[in-house]
C-alpha cells in the first residue's frame, strides 16, 4: 500500500507539517488558558496586584494578543482545511 504525500491529501493546507500546526495550536491554547487563569486569580484575589493595575493591564494585553493570533491562525490555517459542502 502506498501512502499519498500530505500535499496530495490536503492541497489547501497553509502549514504542511501537521506537527508544526499542532504545536502552534497547543501553544496558543496554553497561553490563552494561562491568561484566563491569571484573570480569575486577580479577580478573586485583587490584593495580589499590590495596589497597581499592571497585572490587569498585562493580562488584558496578553488576552488581546492571543485572541488576535488565534483568530489569524484559525482563518489562515484551520479554515482552509475545512471541506466546503
> Tell me: the pLDDT tens digits for 52-62?
788 888 888 88
Q: How far apart are CA 80 and CA 67, in angstroms?
A: 19
| Residue 70 belongs to some domain of the structure | yes
In a domain, 15, yes or no: no
Give residue 82's domain range.
Answer: 46-85
Instruction: Identify whether 22 is part of a domain.
Output: no
Where b means 16+ CB within 10 Å and e means fewer, 31-58 reads bbeebeebbeebeeeeeeeeeeeebeee
Place of cell 491569571: 38
Question: How many folded domains does the chain comprise?
Answer: 1
CA angle 43, 64, 32 (to 5 degrees): 70
Residue 25 within any structural domain of the chain: no
Instruction: List, for residues 17-66, the tens digit of each pLDDT value.
Output: 778 888 888 898 898 888 888 888 888 888 887 777 888 888 888 888 88
In a domain, 74, yes or no: yes
**Is residue 55 included in any domain, yes or no?**
yes
pTM over 0.85: no
Amino acid at each position: 500500500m502506498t501512502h499519498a504525500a500530505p500535499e496530495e491529501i490536503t492541497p489547501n493546507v497553509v502549514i504542511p507539517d501537521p506537527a508544526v500546526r499542532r504545536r502552534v495550536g497547543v501553544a496558543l491554547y496554553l497561553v490563552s488558558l494561562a491568561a484566563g487563569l491569571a484573570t480569575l486569580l486577580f479577580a478573586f484575589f485583587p490584593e495580589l496586584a499590590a495596589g497597581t493595575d499592571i497585572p490587569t493591564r498585562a493580562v488584558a494585553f496578553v488576552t488581546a494578543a492571543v485572541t488576535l493570533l488565534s483568530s489569524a491562525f484559525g482563518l489562515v490555517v484551520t479554515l482552509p482545511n475545512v471541506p466546503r459542502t
